[in-house]
């Protein structure tokens, strides 16, 4: 009797384990780690959580992605993220082109100063790049270096904040110490504008602002500056849109290949939803109500729908350079664009110009 019972239990356990493995996908991990450089409350962090939740729901818990914000998985070193994703220390990353650009020169395209800012509709221009030939060239360049790309999202156009004073012309930046990411094009751009760029990881930047080590920084309004309460350190905001920071959803290729074709399709669909959500968070209050309407349709209208009024309420001065003033910045940074067009590849820059022109 005892033998019969234990045999029955063994058979039951074996059947249970086999079924569970079949449902789970035999070699799926219990947890997939997704890296995010800034904090969980940033637009970027929220987009990552939105993606992970969607994937968990749609896969009935088969694919469990955990978001690790605040550069936890990369010990604060944001420009090492690509390498860690490629070698499998990280499974997924919702990543900025800026942080991967030291390894993939093509990703400097959207960091060419004032390249998109002078377009009649800067968001249309960005969408045209993502959906066009140039976006495909950027993704191909990444995949060639060993990371699978399943979608885009958006950190946003990067605006200048400072404790020193409003910035509406290149001369206003003279001698200002500006915190930038450790990516060479940033150092060059701010030097060319007469500022004093200081390379600092994001993980140390807030302390740098608090202690006044720098006079200013540049980051997107909805995605980073408002969640960080930048007005605690900087009272001046300049809405110069000098570059944009698109985000990419990257996956380690071995991890990607381990998913069934159905689950790969599911992940692509969730990435496409996350792109819409992330872009809406980034563009909220800046695109004539389009993003607000979209977020409302999801039942996710954010607390702050007018970022400019909100910043002013917190005591910030919002400076909006005129198109003529932007043209002066454009001229002042011509050498940087020329120099980096050679490094990025003139073919890619030309493809982006054509993609943007079609969308005008």
Please state, in angstroms and rounded to a whole number, the distance separating the CA atoms of residues 225 and 44.
Answer: 12
Please state, in angstroms and rounded to a whole number, the distance separating the CA atoms of residues 198 and 49.
Answer: 31
Helical pair 43-58 and 261-283, crossing angle rounded to 10 deg = 150
Q: How far is the CB of 44 from ligand X2X (least distance, A)?
A: 7
The residue sitting closest to ligand X2X, measured at its beta carbon, is: 202
Interface mask (CB under 6 A) for ligand X2X, residues 292-331, using x and -? ----------------------------------------
**Looking only at residues 177 through 206 of this chain, which bind ligand X2X when binding is defined by CB under 6 A?**
181, 202
Secondary structure of residue 291 in the 3-state scheme? helix
Pairing mode, strands 32-35 and 65-68: parallel
Q: How far is the CB of 78 from ligand X2X (least distance, A)?
A: 5
Instruction: Give the largest CA-CA distance in the chain.
Output: 92
Please state, in angstroms and rounded to a whole number, the distance separating the CA atoms of residues 5 and 344.
Answer: 69
Interface mask (CB under 6 A) for ligand X2X, residues 3-42, using x and -? ----------------------------------xx----
Q: How far is the CB of 167 from ligand X2X (least distance, A)?
A: 17
Pairing mode, strands 317-319 and 148-162: unpaired
Q: Applying CB under 6 A, does 271 fall inside the site for ligand X2X?
A: no
By beta-carbon proximity to ligand X2X, the closer residue of 158 and 263 is 158
| Selected range binding ligand X2X among 21-29, 95-103, 230-238, 333-341, rule: CB under 6 A | 95-103
Asked whether 228 and 207 are in contact (CB, 8 A), the reply is no
| Selected range binding ligand X2X among 92-100, 111-119, 168-176, 316-324, rule: CB under 6 A | 92-100
Write the DSSP string, 244-258.
EEEEEEEE-HHHHHH
Q: Applying CB under 6 A, does 47 fall inside the site for ligand X2X?
A: no
By beta-carbon proximity to ligand X2X, the closer residue of 91 and 245 is 245
Q: Which of 78, 101, 108, 282 binds ligand X2X (CB under 6 A)?
A: 78
**Looking only at residues 224 through 263 of this chain, which bind ligand X2X when binding is defined by CB under 6 A?**
224, 245
Q: Which residue has the tokens 């980073």?
A: 224
C-alpha 288, offset from chain centre? 22
**Looking only at residues 111 through 130 of this chain, which bind ligand X2X when binding is defined by CB under 6 A?**
none
For residue 4, count other CB atoms closer than 10 A to its CB: 8
Q: How far is the CB of 264 from ligand X2X (least distance, A)?
A: 27
For residue 126, count other CB atoms closer than 10 A to its CB: 26
By beta-carbon proximity to ligand X2X, the closer residue of 25 and 182 is 182
Q: Which two structure tokens, joined as six digits, stand for 266?
A: 């599911």
Q: Applying CB under 6 A, does 219 fall inside the site for ligand X2X?
A: yes
Half-sphere CA count of 194, side-chain side, radius 13 A: 10
By beta-carbon proximity to ligand X2X, the closer residue of 107 and 351 is 107
How big is the chain, counted in residues? 360
Q: How far is the CB of 144 from ligand X2X (least distance, A)?
A: 22
By beta-carbon proximity to ligand X2X, the closer residue of 114 and 209 is 209
Q: What angle do CA 122, 126, 127 make, to 5 degrees?
A: 115
Q: Applying CB under 6 A, does 96 fall inside the site for ligand X2X?
A: yes
Q: How far is the CB of 45 from ligand X2X (least distance, A)?
A: 10
Q: Which two structure tokens, joined as six digits, stand for 69?
A: 């914000």
Half-sphere CA count of 263, side-chain side, radius 13 A: 20
Q: How far is the CB of 42 from ligand X2X (least distance, A)?
A: 7
Residue ranges in contact with ligand X2X by CB under 6 A: 37-38, 78, 96, 98-99, 155, 181, 202, 219, 224, 245
């Amino acid at each position: 009797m005892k033998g019969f019972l234990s045999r029955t239990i063994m058979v039951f356990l074996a059947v249970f384990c086999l079924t569970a493995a079949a449902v789970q996908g035999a070699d799926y991990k219990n947890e997939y780690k997704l890296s995010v450089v800034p904090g969980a409350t940033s637009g970027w962090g929220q987009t990552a959580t939105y993606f992970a939740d969607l994937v968990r729901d749609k896969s009935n818990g088969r694919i469990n992605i955990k978001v690790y914000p605040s550069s936890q998985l990369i010990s604060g070193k944001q420009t090492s993220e690509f390498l860690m994703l490629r070698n499998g220390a990280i499974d997924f990353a919702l990543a900025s082109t800026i942080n991967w650009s030291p390894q993939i020169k093509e990703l400097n395209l959207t960091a060419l100063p004032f390249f998109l800012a002078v377009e009649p509709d800067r968001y249309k221009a960005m969408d045209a790049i993502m959906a066009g030939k140039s976006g495909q060239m950027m993704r191909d360049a990444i995949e060639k270096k060993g990371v699978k790309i399943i979608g885009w999202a958006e950190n946003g156009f990067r605006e200048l904040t400072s404790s020193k004073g409003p910035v509406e012309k290149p001369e206003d930046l003279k001698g200002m110490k500006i915190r930038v990411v450790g990516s060479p094009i940033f150092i060059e751009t701010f030097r060319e504008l007469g500022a004093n760029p200081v390379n600092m990881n994001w993980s140390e930047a807030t302390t740098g602002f608090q202690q006044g080590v720098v006079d200013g920084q540049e980051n997107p309004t909805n995605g980073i500056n408002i969640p960080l309460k930048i007005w605690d350190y900087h009272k001046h905001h300049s809405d110069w849109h000098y570059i944009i920071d698109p985000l990419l959803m990257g996956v380690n290729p071995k991890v990607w290949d381990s998913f069934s074709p159905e689950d790969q399709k599911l992940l692509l669909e969730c990435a496409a939803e996350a792109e819409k959500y992330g872009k809406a968070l980034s563009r909220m209050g800046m695109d004539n109500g389009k993003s607000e309407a979209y977020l409302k349709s999801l039942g996710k209208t954010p607390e702050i729908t007018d970022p400019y009024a909100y910043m002013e309420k917190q005591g910030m001065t919002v400076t909006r350079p005129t198109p003529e003033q932007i043209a002066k910045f454009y001229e002042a940074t011509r050498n940087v664009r020329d120099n980096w067009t050679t490094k990025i590849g003139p073919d890619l820059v030309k493809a982006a110009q054509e993609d943007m022109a079609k969308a005008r």
